[in-house]
């Protein structure tokens, strides 16, 4: 996989890596992992809200 970043994104990544004394690759991989985890948690939270809000409707549909 090749990840193409804009010059500003590259510089931000480089500066973050320098401040944290980590490689740019490590910072990028951590950011991706956190993003994916956050999205999965957000999706689960939204689905739980839908199920809770529409419980009566889901019960009626399930009994058809």
10-39 pLDDT, tens digit each: 999 999 999 999 999 999 999 999 999 999
Alpha-carbon span 45 to 36, nearest angstrom: 14
Residue 24: both structure tokens together: 């740019």
Q: What is the pLDDT of residue 22?
A: 98
Q: How far is CA 15 from CA 38, 42, 46, in A?
A: 24, 29, 35
To the nearest whole percent, how much of the chain has pLDDT over 90?
59
**Position 7 pLDDT exceeds 80:** yes
Domain extents in the chain: 38-64
Read off the pTM.
0.65
**Other C-beta atoms lying within 10 Å of the C-beta of residue 21:** 6
Alpha-carbon span 46 to 39, nearest angstrom: 10
Residue 33: both structure tokens together: 């992992």
């Amino acid at each position: 996989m090749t990840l193409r970043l804009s010059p500003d994104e590259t510089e931000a990544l480089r500066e973050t890596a320098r401040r944290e004394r980590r490689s740019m690759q490590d910072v990028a991989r951590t950011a991706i992992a956190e993003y994916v985890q956050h999205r999965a948690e957000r999706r689960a939270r939204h689905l739980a809200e839908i199920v809770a809000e529409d419980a009566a409707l889901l019960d009626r549909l399930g009994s058809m």
